[in-house]
Amino acid sequence: MKKLLTLILFVGLVLPAAAQSLLLKGVVRDSAGEPLIGAFVVEQGTQNGTMTGVEGDFALSTRRGAAIEISCIGYTTQVITNNGEQNLVVVLADDSQMLEETVVIGYGVQKKSVVTASIAKVDAEALEKSAQLRVDSALKGLAAGVNVTSSSGQPGAASRIRIRGTGTVNDSNPLYIVDGMPIGIDGIDYLNPNDIESIEVLKDAASGAVYGARAANGVILVTTKKGSKGKASISYNYSFGLSSPWRLREVLNASEYALLTNEGLINAGEAPIYSDPFAYGEGTDWQREVFNFNAPQHQHEVSVSGASDRFNYYMSLGYVDQDGIVGGNYGRSNYNRLTLRSNTSYTVWDSSEDRSFLNKFTLGSNVSYSNIKASSIEANGQFNTVVTSALAMSPILSVYATEEQAAAQKAAYGDLVTYGANGQMFMIPGASFNDMINPVAMMNLPGDKNWTHKFVANFSGELQIWDNLKFRSSVGFDMGFWGSDGYNYLYYLSPAVKNDEHTSVWSSVNRNLSWQVENVLTYDKTLGDHSFSVLFGQSASAYNGQNLGGSRWHVSDLNKPSIDYASGLQKEGEMSVYGGPFDPARLASYFFRASYNYAERYMAQFTVRRDGSSRFGSNNKWATFPSFSLGWNLHREPYLQDVKPEWLSNAKLRFSWGKNGNEAIGNFRYTTLTDSGENNSIFGNPEQTVIGNKASALSNQSLRWETSTQTDFGLDLGFFNNSLTFTVDWYRKITDGMLMEMNIPSYVGENKPIGNVGIMSNSGVEFELGYKYSVNDFNLRVNGNATYLRNKLIEYGNETGWAEYGSFQGAGSFLRAENGKPFTYFYGYKTDGIFQNMAEVNAYTAVVLDEEGNPMTQLIQPDAVPGDVRFVDVNGDGSITAEDRTDIGNGTPDWTWGINIGMDWKGFDFSMMWQGTLGNDIFDATRRIDVRGTNQPAYILNRWTGEGTSNKYPRFIIGDKTTNWNASDLYVCDGSYARLKNIQLGYTLPAKLTEKFLVSSLRVYVAAENLITLTSYRGFDPEISSGNGYSLGVDYGVYPQARTFTFGVNVKFGRPRNVK
Amino acid sequence: MKKYRILAAAVALAFATSCTTDFLTVENPKAKPIEDYFNTETTVFESLVAAYAPLHWPDWFGGYYNPVNIASDVMADQIWPGGGTATDFGDLKYLARYDADGRYTLPGLWSAAYSGVKRSNDVLLYIDWAREAGNISAESAKLFEAEARALRVFYYNWLWKFWGNIPYYEKNLEDPFVCEQIKADEVYDHIITDLEGVIALNVLPMVRPESEAGRVSQAMAYMLYAEITMYQNDASRLPTALNYMKAIIEDVHYDLLPDYAEVFKESGEWKSETIYDINYMSEGGRRDWSWVTGEGGTILPRLIGPRGWEDGYAGYLSGWGLGPVRTSTVEMFDDADARKAATCFDVASLAEAGGKTYENTAYQHTGYYLQKYAPLDANRQGCIADWQMNFNNNLRVYRYSETLLNAAELVLRNYGSGDAAAWLNAVHGRSLPGTTVEATLENVKKERALEFVGEGKRYWDLVRWELTADPDGIQASKVLTGHDEMNFRQITWSSSKKYIPIPDAEISAAAGTAYPLTQNNY
């Protein structure tokens, strides 16, 4: 132990130099003549050594003739003899072997040059620049084939990640593996992106196959940081940011609102109510009342890392505190996270020089803890959310009641009226606003406070058995504790949002534990030009958990809401409790992978995994997932050496095929269990509840995994010594046996069983481009990626071949899944302008057959009047019916792209990241026509008011009962956008200045997130996903993403870093 | 070398741990496989309780308001469908106009009834399991069997009367989960035979003790028998039906309550007049929008309450205006008839009496709602979940007055002997004391029209009497014919209207299977 401590303390500072007779002095440079800082200069076989300084200089005393080893990561090690030289210049050659990029492939790493599968890699540098709270958000725009859509701008909100499209109508989330440990998607925000060394996204079946039954939707491998040998660094990062909405929606001001209301009432055949619309002026800007401008966020980050021959450590502490731009100032949308991590490894013995068996044993542990406190508001709902209410509130009304209003409200609602922090009574809008409410009053309500503690620990031992035969065993735990607390006082905000009967308080706690044990044998061997790598492994994992919660009425003191400090009685039904174990789940697996390459010219890889899952019946517990891939490095063909042009430095063809599974389908669905839920009856007089019990469902014992089969062709090219690289992949992925409720008649009298009935297809092309350029002190890096995706639901699995996935109040259902269409798409009427006059209505006719079969001409829209929408008679039956609804767009982009540009010059660095989509639509469901009093979006000013005034928006009617606003393409907007996601400018102070304070590097930067968004969409944000990812592009009034300006500083202490 | 052996053993162990199937076999911590559970007397009884549960669902189930009494009566001539607008309660409106198609035909009732069938069948299966395990007494097994089969007949009776030609099964369906659709007459044969079997078991008590009120009794089975055979006009069985009615009349437990209005009050529940009620309670009621099958109250009073009423005024709550009582129904009653006020809720007068003006906002408003299930504030007290769904009004299914009128009718139709005049006048005289009527079939029909408004009897009576003319002057001329006083129903009833269309979704789900469904020719 003492030795360990010594190591920690001294590695990277000064290795103790024994007093010896002969002093050797010199400098170490690289091949370009630049000094190498931090290179090791050690007398072989001893602890005697030193490291080079800022000028690459060193001085070491040893006995004369001692062998001195000079080493530096990324360079070939040199051994020299101490001959007392005082101005020695050592030039270390680049170690091209070591520098060659490696890729994490699951249970191992592989040189990028021999990778045959389709894997996208994102490194720490790119993640640092994107500076996101969550690993899912951080991936946005960085990898081809990985579509990341922010669900909203709520701090800490999860993003929707789809790897190569939506794989199934069920859970399409990828599998996250963090340092070998699978982490559930709900808990993935325990991970601090600053701790990540690299992320590999396994996209094709061949790369995912080693994770078999869980890989159908892709695998995200996260590797966290380690210490670097030769470096000991303590770093501290701080950033402070201010967030604001990047745009407000254009809505009517008070005068416009009054004018339009009058017009709409007249059109509805009612009397206007505002005698002098212009008297109202601008009125209340509800968006300004609701948004939290300049919402602050802070981030602190400390890490210490380093390594010696035997010990490697990385420890970090991270803290984030972020206020949301809607409700963050009311404690309703806030995120606060503390993370701690310790990654260490220790070589217990290393006798690889002495013997060939059992010669090396390494222990490792990755331990992390996170604590999250968060609150959130509904981010994309059509009924009375803070944002939708802000859009719907009349600008004539004010946040706080006028004296007259206050008196009336007090009389009507008594103690149910609520007050703001300023002591003023909140205005309660009238019945003409339906469920919409005063959004500021809503934010003022106490929200639920959510909390999470999560521990993830993974321990491993690796033993070198013989030659290159290694055995690695690991055990990991993921332990989570989370819950929420809330209370309610008495209030009345609207007929739909009120609590007028009793106060209450509630609380819940949950815990879960996953463990995993893995044992892996690997053997690598190179014999001449033949290289083999074989892996055989076993894995077992289990999950269980439990919850407990309760609630109670009649809070004794609203300032101290707790269940114990409330007076509701259980026998009165005023106190309730619930809880119990979660469904346990287990997975057992064996996997095998064999890789072969001949002279790194021809590559082949075969992977098979056999998984057994507790989620299936005894006849279907096990399934096998095979895959293979092939690669061909053309540029290494000897016979092409003379033919290939000088500038072509790399050309690789890849092909892969394989099957992956999806077992994320819930538990116990193969069997029939008791169901004590909804089966009680009432007997007796007086009546008494009698407990009943029944079978839960009809069972389908032949239930099995969803299986996806994927084929991938890839081409990698490198030009000009690989300074320009280009990769293209084409793939096709078919998911078969998607689980759906079986479409059988309801007369079975029971919940219907689940069956493997659906089919989904995804195909696409992915491009990645990289360019590096250096001249003098100027470096430029450009990385771009673009993805084309085509998603198609081939077979939904029910009788009709379609299903509704969403509707909008007043417009009806508009979101569907349907065979042959993207999952999901917008469904509604096609419009063809506005009827300008009666003649146009009368001219809109079709020839149909009458009852006797004779052709006759009839009006297609007989009820229409000028100013109404002309709908397209899609099915040509001469009238507009529900059958005329058709595909009017969808939220899945055709193209997703990202561009990263980085440059540095002397101490300055600059980076920016653009990302965007093309070809996706948005269904703008933010205008509720059923709410009579609602404010209107500004585009309503372009309504039809007479012949020639508009050919898009129909006449405006309050309480519109016409079909004009049925779900149609009038709601659909182009959702394509290009966004400057990040832009950052930094300056690193000259080391000479900072070194005096033991600071090796001090960088300051300014950055902006979402600085520029180019889109034709009129809403808050073109990026929207909700409803478990199904409702992509449906805008009910989404909580928008913020534009954030950040100032930050990065400080590194200790000895200078290796500059390279 | 020992070190290596240990190591080898460790490796072998590590690889072996997960290969057992034991590891992959997990138990659900909150439920048991049914085979391991439903094999004792206690658990079979639990399954029987679950078989009763769907009785209370139809008023709001599967997204549809299909209260059986209102769904029946809107097809007759005493109430309007009403509701908020012309399209509110759409399926009831189409049925009321004899204009239904497969999109609008009580899918909630259909699903609830079949859930009852399935659960009843399960009880019979579980009795076998418990018998095999030796965990149930012979008496209990017989009693539970009788109850489950009676319930099954009760559920099939709903399906048979509304849809007629239906899929029928007595063993629950297995993959591919379809069965044959049979003709209405065959359904009748099955259910009446099943019910005869129940009665023959002779294990059901004639009346349940108060603690078991709501469970099937022999008297309930008799009433069910009379209802089914009379609706089928099965001359071979009607004498038996009469005997069953007489058995109830002779039983000392059953009698009329002196006050007709009392019958529909909370205090009148499970008194001597009650032969069978479906129980609802408000105290602790947990039925909710998110848990419609939870036990508790009924939403019926809320559905049929006066639209726009000031909540709480005069003890009444507002409602959604379903089922306004027709003006002709109000006029049918003699002013002295106690049933008039107990049936017709004169909302305007009640409001005026308190100096309030009642502003109607309902469709087909007549000024009258159904008093029997009017939404009384007192009847929803003590519920935990949404009060709208937790009224305590039991649904009156069979009353003693129906026993008397059934018996009188059967005697007058010459299916046996008995004092028809006494039975008829017992009912008549209760509400119009001191008056009597002559014992004729027409007077029995008229008495039924007055006695059972809003109780889901009238339409089936009209169908089985085949009333297309006006034999008795009680507005039967308008019965089942189009062009009523609101000009609402434009289609005249014909025998094809007897069976309403089967829900479309069922037809499409069964299409292409071994047993496709044939839609009723409505």
Q: Tell me, what's the pLDDT at A334? A: 96
* Interchain contact, A682 vs B24, CB within 8 Å: no
Contacts with B214 from chain A: Cβ below 8 Å = 681-684, 687
Phi, psi values for residue B108, rounded to 5°: -65, -45
Determine the residue of chain B that is closest to A672 in CA distance: B33
Q: Burial code of B228-256, b = ≥16 C-beta within 10 A, e = fewer? A: bbbbbebeebbebbbbbbbebbebeebeb
Determine the residue of chain B that is closest to A749 in CA distance: B115
User: What whole-number distance in Å separates Cα of residue A208 and Cα of residue A988?
Assistant: 41
Strand partners, A181: A178
Question: Which of A585, A589, A678 is opposite residue B291, by nearest beta carbon?
Answer: A678
Give me the DSSP letters along A43-91. Answer: ETTSS-EEE--TTSEEEEEE-TT-EEEEE-TTB--EEEE----SSEEEE
Indicate left, alpha or beta for A536 from its phi (over 0: left) and psi (-120 to 50: alpha): beta
Which position has the higher pLDDT, A29 or A475? A475
Q: Tell me, what's the pLDDT at A229? A: 78
The token duo for A889 is 């767009």
Q: Tell me, what's the pLDDT at A443? A: 96
Phi, psi values for residue A509, rounded to 5°: -130, 145
* Interchain contact, A747 vs B167, CB within 8 Å: yes
Determine the residue of chain B that is closest to A697 in CA distance: B34
User: What whole-number distance in Å separates Cα of residue A158 and Cα of residue A136?
Assistant: 7
Poorest-confidence range of A934-948, B65-79, B454-468, B476-490? B476-490
Give me the DSSP letters along A928-965. Answer: -TT-TT---BGGGGGB--STTS-SSBPPP-TT--SSTT
* Interchain contact, B509 vs A745, CB within 8 Å: yes
Q: CB distance from B270 to chain A under 8 Å? A: yes
Is pLDDT above 90 for A683?
A: yes
Is pLDDT above 90 for A355?
A: no
* Interchain contact, A746 vs B294, CB within 8 Å: no
What tens digit of pLDDT does each residue of B334-364 get? 999 999 999 999 998 998 888 888 877 788 8
Q: Tell me, what's the pLDDT at A95? A: 62
Q: Which helix (H) or strand (E) holds A321?
A: strand A311-323
* Interchain contact, A747 vs B294, CB within 8 Å: no
Report the residue count for chain A. 1060
Averaged over B69-85, what is the pLDDT? 92
Cα dihedral A415, A420, A422, A424 sign = negative
Specify burial of residue A751 (Cβ count, 10 A radius: 0-12, 13-18, 19+). Answer: middle
Give me the DSSP letters along A175-236. Answer: EEEETTEEE-GGGGGGS-GGGEEEEEEE-SHHHHGGGGGG-TT-EEEEEE----BT-EEEEE
Determine the residue of chain B that is closest to A539 in CA distance: B18
Report the gap between the CA of B418 and the closest CA in chain A (Å).
33
* Interchain contact, A581 vs B30, CB within 8 Å: yes
* Interchain contact, A744 vs B28, CB within 8 Å: no
**Cα distances (Å, whole numbers) of residue A522 to A537, A592, A599, B474:** 8, 10, 21, 94
Specify burial of residue A315 (Cβ count, 10 A radius: 0-12, 13-18, 19+). Answer: buried
* Interchain contact, B122 vs A473, CB within 8 Å: no
Q: Tell me, what's the pLDDT at B482? A: 52
Highest mean pLDDT among A806-810, B266-270, B380-384: B266-270
User: What whole-number distance in Å separates Cα of residue A460 and Cα of residue A462?
Assistant: 7
Residue A342 · residue A314 · CB < 8 Å: yes
Averaged over A344-348, what is the pLDDT? 96
Q: Tell me, what's the pLDDT at B20? A: 55
Residue A20 · residue A14 · CB < 8 Å: no
Report the residue count for chain B. 522
Sorted by sequence, the CB contacts under 8 Å of residue A300 that are 6+ apart come out as: A236, A237, A238, A317, A318, A319
Share of residues in chain B with pLDDT > 70 (%):
93
The token duo for A645 is 């042009």
User: What whole-number distance in Å separates Cα of residue A916 and Cα of residue A150?
Assistant: 12
Q: Tell me, what's the pLDDT at A90? A: 85
Share of residues in chain A with pLDDT > 90 (%):
68
Is pLDDT above 80 for B12?
A: no
Q: Most A CBs within 10 Å: which of B3, B23, B26, as the mutation test of the A interface?
A: B26
Q: Tell me, what's the pLDDT at A260? A: 96
What is the bridge-based pairing of β-strands A921-924 and A1034-1035? Answer: parallel
What is the bridge-based pairing of β-strands A219-224 and A175-178? Answer: parallel
Report the gap between the CA of A496 and the closest CA in chain B (Å).
13
Is pLDDT above 70 for A475?
A: yes
Indicate left, alpha or beta for A341 from its phi (over 0: left) and psi (-120 to 50: alpha): beta
Q: Tell me, what's the pLDDT at A1057? A: 44
